[in-house]
Amino acid sequence: MRRRVRGAAVVLALLGGLAPAGAAGAAPHRPGPLPLERLFDNRAVSDDARPGDADFDGAGASLSAPDLTAAGWTPGRRLGVEGARLTWPDTRAGEPDNVRADGQWVRLRGRGDALAFLVAGTGGAARGAGTVRYRDGSRTAYRLTAPDWRTGPLATKSVALPHINTPDGQRAEKARLYVVTVPLARGREVASVRLPRDPGGADLHVFALSVRARATGWTGTWSASTAGYTRVGPWTDRTVRLVAHTSVGGPRVRIRLDNTFAGAPVRIGSASIAVRGAGAGARGTPVALTFGGAGGVEIPAGAQAVSDPVRFAVPAGADLLISFHLPGTVAAAPVHSQALQTSYVSEPGDHAAEASGAAYTSTVRAWPLLTGVDVADGAGSVVLLGDSITDGVGSTPDTNRRWPDVLARRLLEEPKAPRRGVLNQGVSANRVVGDRYPGDGVSTDTGGVSALHRLDRDVLAQTSARTVVVFQGINDLRAGVPAADVVGGLREIASRARARGLRVVVATLVPCAGEARCTAAVDAERVAVNAALRRGEGFDAVLDFDAVLRDPALPARLLPAYDSGDHLHPGDAGLAALAAAVPLKVLRS
C-alpha cells in the first residue's frame, strides 16, 4: 500500500484551515495560493549514509544527494533547461524538497509562452489536468505528464543520476528527473497555477515551477541541435574556437551553450566572440563574453548557460568565431556532429581573447556545446526541423550551401522578404518517431533523439521562433516505420507547435531510389506520406519538395542534376532548388 498524505490537507491543517471542534457547519478556511516551497510534503533526497531520511516513492527509495552534487544540481542552484529558469530546492538531504501534486494552488507570477515544471512520477508515469489563473481573472486548462523516475525515457530526461538509495542499500540504477512544459495564453500575466491530480494512482512530484519568458527583443541568428554525446579530445586546458555563420545581424549579441545529455558539469573558463577574418584568425580583437557578470561559468549536467548581452555589431550572412576556454579535462561532450564546417582547437592555454589564430593548431568538424547565437532586435526566427538534408549533408563543406543558408540569403536579399533569422535544427540520421541516440551516456551514434522528443528544446524553446518548417520522415521509412506512424508523428509535432502559437509548414519527402535502403516498398510508403501531407490537414502550409527534386521520367529518383551522388542527399544545386521553392510569404506570421 502506498503511504500518501494529501498535500492540500496537510497545508490546511498547518495553517489552521480546518474547522475547529464544535464549530459544526462552519466552512473550512481555504488558504490562497502559496509559494511552491511552502507546499513541500515529500522528501526525495537522502544522504548515502542515511537513506532512511527520505522516502520519495512510498517504498523507502530516494535520490542520492552526492549524485546530485556530482551533476551540479546543488541546493538552491538555478538551472537553465529547455529555455526556462528553474531553481533546484534549497534544502538539505532529508528535508522536504518536493510536493506531491494534488490540486494545490501555487503562487506564481510572470508572462511567457510556457510553464516549466521540474518533475518526476513515482508508481509509474503520473499525469493529470491542472489550471492556470491569470491576473485578468481568466483561466486556461493544461495537461501534464511526469515520466516515472526509474523507468521513464532517458531520451527526454533533463538529468540521469547513476544510483538510487533504498533501505537495503544503494542500487546502481538510474534515477531520472524531467523538465516538462505546457503552453500559456499569449500576453497574459500568470497569477497562480493549480497542480494536477492523477486519477490513476501514481504520484506526480513537483520540485520547481517557473514561467518560461519570451525572448523579447532578441532574434536567433544561428543554431545547432545537440545530436548526441560523444568522446572528444580529450581536451585539457584548451580553447575551442567554433565557426558559426549568421543569418541576420544586430547591434548586440549573446550565445547559448548546452550541456545536454551530460552526466557531469562542464566548466567554461572564459569566452569571446569575433567576426572571422581568415582561418582561425579574427577580424579585430575578440569581445569578451560574461555569464551573470562572471568571466566563466559552470554548466550543470543537462543544463544550459546563456551569456550576458554584449554590444557587438553582428553582420548578416557572416562567419563568427566563438571561442571558449576549457580549463579542466573534457573527454566527452554534447555535439552537433555534421557541422560541415572546419573549426579549431588550440594548444594548451586560454586563447579566447587572441585575435591571431596561431595558437589554434588542431581542427574539429563538429560543434561541441555551442547551440545558439542571438542578436538584438530583428523580426523573429524561422526554425527548420529536419534530418541530414536540412543538416546540409551532400553540400560542399565550408561553403554554407545548406538549403537553410540559401534561404537565409534569400530573406536578406529580396526587398519585401521578412527579415527572419533562420535556425537550422537538422540532425543527420534523425527520425520523427524513433530515437537514434539513446539519450544518455557516451555513444558513437549522433542521430539524435526523435523529432518528437527534441521538439521542445530544438523548436519551442528557440529564440523568438515564429514559424517552423518540418521536413523529415525518410529515415523512419528507411528503418521500416509505416507511413501512418510518420504522418501521425508529423501531425503531433504540428499540434504541439501550434498550441505554442507557431505557424507550422510541412514539406513532402523527396525521392531516394537507388540508395541501398530506399527500396520500392519504402518508396510506396513515401508516396503515401506525401499524399497525406498534400491534403494539408493540421498544417498551415505545405511545401512540395518532392515535386521540386524528383526526376519527371523516374519519379522515385532525384533528378540527376540535383543528386549529390548517393541518390539520397541533394547536392549544392538541389539544396539551392529547395530554398528557391519556398514562397517567402509562408514564413510570415
3-state per-residue secondary structure call for 426-445: ECCCCCCCCCCCCCCCCCCC
3-state secondary structure of 249: coil
Mean per-residue pLDDT for 541-563?
A: 98
Amino acid code (one letter) for 7 = G
Please give the torsion angle defined by the CA atoms of residues 310, 314, 318 and 319, in that order, rounded to the nearest 10 degrees. Answer: -10
Amino acid code (one letter) for 438 = P
pLDDT at 517 exceeding the cut of 80: yes
Distance CA 160, CA 324 (A): 26
Q: Which residues contact 317 (CB under 8 A, 6 or more apart)?
A: 245, 246, 247, 249, 408, 409, 412
Question: What does each C-alpha distance from 223 to 103, 157, 539 come to in angstroms?
Answer: 39, 21, 24
| CB-based contact 108:192 (threshold 8 Å) | yes
Q: Which three cell numbers mark 409?
A: 540569403
- Return the percentage of the chain with pLDDT > 90, whole number: 91
For cell 569566452, name the residue: 271
Distance CA 57, CA 75 (A): 21
Class of domain 379-589: alpha beta
pLDDT at 23 exceeding the cut of 60: no
Upper half-sphere CA count for residue 382 (Cβ side, 13 Å): 27
**pLDDT tens per residue, range 289-331:** 999 999 999 999 999 999 999 999 999 999 999 999 999 999 9
- pLDDT value at position 198? 83
User: Sorting pLDDT into bands at 50, 70 and 90, what band is 31?
Assistant: low
pLDDT at 29 exceeding the cut of 70: no
Mean per-residue pLDDT for 384-395?
A: 98
**pLDDT tens per residue, range 331-357:** 999 999 999 999 999 999 999 999 999
- pLDDT value at position 418? 84
User: Sorting pLDDT into bands at 50, 70 and 90, what band is 24?
Assistant: very low
Annotated domain spans of the chain: 7-212, 226-376, 379-589
User: Sorting pLDDT into bands at 50, 70 and 90, what band is 589?
Assistant: low
**pLDDT tens per residue, range 207-261:** 999 999 988 899 999 999 999 999 999 999 999 999 999 999 999 999 999 999 9
**pLDDT tens per residue, range 261-295:** 999 999 999 999 999 999 999 999 999 999 999 99
Distance CA 551, CA 392 (A): 21
Q: Which residues of 191-216 are buried (b: 16+ CB within 10 A; e: fewer)?
A: bbbbbbbbeeebbbbbbbbbbbebbe
Q: What is the pTM of this model?
A: 0.93
| CB-based contact 337:228 (threshold 8 Å) | yes
549-555 own/partner pairs: CB under 8 Å, 24+ apart: 549/510, 549/511, 549/574, 549/577, 549/578, 550/510, 550/511, 551/511, 554/513, 555/511
Mean per-residue pLDDT for 458-481?
A: 97
Considering the chain, what is the average pLDDT of its residues?
Answer: 94
Distance CA 39, CA 53 (A): 19
- pLDDT value at position 14? 30
3-state secondary structure of 7: helix
For cell 569575433, name the residue: 274
